[in-house]
Amino acid sequence: MKVAFAATVLRKYTAKYEVCNACGFLRVQEPNWLEEAYSSAIVAADTGIVERNFSFARKVAGFLYWVKGERGDGLYLDAAGGYGLFTRLMRDMGFNFYWADKYCTNVIAPGFEYSLDQGICKAVTAIEVLEHLVDPVAFIQDTLSTTGAQTLLFTTELYQGAPPKPVDWWYYTFETGQHISFFQRRTLEAMGRRLGLKFSSANGLHLFSTTPVNENLLKFATGRLSSGLSPLWIRRGLGSKAVSDHLLMMKKTSA
């Protein structure tokens, strides 16, 4: 690793950002402010959280339905699921999604917390997670091993070429101190090789899988037109879990 630049984080800490010239992995060197940065798991400045969840819920739904052939029987987990919005959106479209997060409260999808006794997951999602991690590879290994899943779907902004200058890339979010790992496509490809997984990416949705995925099909399933229209068809085909989940929670409440 070679130091690329230094910047001020949380308006008071000097941070060194180092890059691997072989794969393009860019990280903060020894981020010793994380406890302070996560005094609130989700920062007030994250004003795109709702739009982001809606957008990627449509793309993930398209991938699972059209590419993987999911028809309502599979078990899925949204890892580091925040307030539970993504889990609720996926259940509303008919997918059997559950939630897990060590650092946040499940506000929107209570009652659908994942536990190992529920069984093996077909896939796991991690929406805007990897950039928060000191060791992304360990997270991927642990998540797939624990759930038994063969596919990890995730999102993170990628950069190209040399590390962007601090003033040129909003994704550093120096003011929050939470983003500490950054990737190029070749970084993720190298991680996939290390993990023995195939890497694919299209329209901002990335995935590691034990089996190859056709990127042209992935691109179609997650494209603007498809992801805009598909949820209507998918929800009709799978049947939304909104009502059945409501009845289930009412039954638990009255028990």
**The pLDDT value given to residue 47:** 85
**pLDDT tens across 188-224, in order?**
999 999 999 999 999 999 999 999 999 999 999 999 9
Total-model pTM: 0.95
Percent of the chain with pLDDT over 90: 93
- Write down the pLDDT at residue 255: 65
| Nearest alpha-carbon partner for 160 in 24, 18, 17, 3 | 24
Cβ atoms within 10 Å, residue 66: 18
Q: Do 180 and 38 meet the contact criterion of CB atoms below 8 Å apart? A: no
3-state secondary structure of 199: strand
The mean pLDDT value for 76-85 works out to 97
101 phi and psi angles, rounded to 5 deg: -165, 120
In the numeric block, which tokens belong to residue 197? 């997984």
Phi and psi torsions of 75, nearest 5° = -105, 135
Q: Would you tell me how many other CB atoms lie within 10 Å of the CB of residue 23?
A: 17
Average pLDDT score, the chain: 95
Q: Which CATH number fits domain 47-157+185-254: 3.40.640.10, 3.90.180.10, 3.40.50.150, 2.40.110.10?
A: 3.40.50.150
Q: What does the alpha-carbon distance between residue 205 and residue 61 come to, in Å, rounded to a whole number? A: 11
How much is the average pLDDT of 104-128? 96
- Angle (CA) 108-111-116 rounded to 5° is 120
User: Could you give the 3-state DSSP secondary structure of residue 159?
Assistant: coil
∠ at Cα 206 (161, 126), nearest 5°? 115
Strand pairing class (123-127; 75-79): parallel
Q: For residues 175 and 204, what is the distance between their CA atoms, to the nearest angstrom?
A: 24
Residue 48's pLDDT is: 86
Contact, 189 vs 50, CB < 8 A?
no
